[in-house]
Amino acid sequence: MFENFHRVRWAMACSGLLVASTLLGITASNSSNAAGVPTKISTCTNISTGVVRLLPKGNCLSTEEKSAWSRTAKVGGSGSMVICTNLKTGANRILSKGVCAAKVELKSVWIKVGAKTTATPTTLTCAAGGKCARKDAGPGGGLVFYVADARETWGRYLEVAPTNWNGPGGDPKAPWCNITDTLITTEFEIGKGLANTATLSATCSTSAAALAKAYRGGGKSDWYLPSVAELHELHGFVYGLDIPGFAPDYFWSSTQDGYLNAWGEYFIKGGTLVAAKTSQYLVRPIRRF
């Protein structure tokens, strides 16, 4: 009887160990074959930024590339992707760095098995959201005149409004600002014209910046008067590529030079200049994206 008692205790202990090890194996599992990990994964990659997101269902946007993925036993490897699956909710996330949460998530490794697009991303035009080059038609209906070497905080491309942006009469003339006794804070650099234009529009009741800001070409509301650096790039584009539609006259930038003056540029074969803010010079909006 004493021996039978010990046999029962031993069997119960073994059973407990088996249950404990099984539970531990589930909660600490890091296997791609563990229960709860999806059998199929699709992702959408933004063509411009390269940002990847999981696609639970449906199609990617026209600006994205859709890819299909398959589970693999090979950890790491070129082109592989790691997914963490929440044990409780079943939610999946891409693991960009670090590790899956212990006892909370299951890890699985995936490799790309195919790719297709909802549109034709490799042939998307600049206007439709694809890559742009100088002289391409932009999203706002103008021409791309500047392409940065890499994406900046303000974007990568500058687009100039078309010749008829203000109607058949061509570019209008306006004073830089009707206020000449105030020092307005403006900047010189590429990408600064939008902020300059907002400042001028809020300060001056009449200004070249207000005309540019009011333009809505392509359904866009982010047109502005270029900074002096942006205007200089536009001049180089027009003169270097013989772009028509620009009168051989003075154009305003949105950059100030002291209380009384502001910067402009002479098109076609000219250069930057400083003129009185009350001078009537031409206005051509641009936008950044």
pLDDT score of 76: 54
Read off the tokens for 130.
């694809």
Q: Give the position of tokens 């993925």.
A: 69
What is d(CA 87, CA 226) in angstroms, rounded to the nearest whole number? 53
- Mean pLDDT across the stretch 166-178? 95
pLDDT greater at residue 76 or residue 39: 39
Tell me, what's the pLDDT at 134? 97
pLDDT for the residue numbered 15: 42
Q: Is 157 helix (H, G, I), strand (E, B) or coil?
A: strand
Token pair of 11, please? Answer: 């069997």
CA 62, 222, 140, 189 torsion-angle sign: negative
pLDDT at position 78: 60
Name every residue whose Cβ is closer than 8 Å to that of residue 131 and which is 6 or more positions away in sequence. Answer: 48, 124
Q: What's the pLDDT at 271? A: 87
Mode of pairing for the β-strands spanning 41-46 and 105-117: unpaired
Instruction: Single out the residue of 175, 202, 172, 171 nearest to residue 186, CA to CA.
Output: 202
Residue 250: CB atoms within 10 A of its CB come to 17
Helical ranges in the chain per DSSP H: 2-27, 193-203, 208-213, 228-241
Q: 184 preceded by cis ω (within 30°)?
A: no
Average pLDDT over residues 164-188: 94
The dihedral of CA 215, 220, 221, 224: what is its sign? negative
CA distance 205 to 213: 13
- Torsion 68-70-71-73 (CA) sign: negative
Per-residue pLDDT averaged across 111-134, rounded? 75
pLDDT tens for each residue of 138-162: 999 999 999 999 999 999 999 999 9
Phi and psi based region of residue 25 (left: phi greater than 0; alpha: psi -120 to 50; beta: remaining): alpha
Query: pTM for this structure?
Result: 0.60
- In this predicted structure, the answer to whether residue 6 has a pLDDT above a threshold of 60 is no
DSSP 8-class letter at 159 = E
pLDDT of residue 23: 31
Give the rounded percent of residues in the chain with a pLDDT score beyond 90: 60
CA-nearest of 197, 224, 201 to 285 is: 224
Greatest mean pLDDT range, 5-14, 40-49, 98-107:
98-107
User: What's the pLDDT score for residue 120?
Assistant: 45
Range among 83-87, 195-199, 268-272 rated most confident: 195-199
**270: phi then psi, degrees, rounded to nearest 5:** -120, -145
What proportion of the chain, given as a percentage, has pLDDT over 70?
82
d(CA 187, CA 229): 9
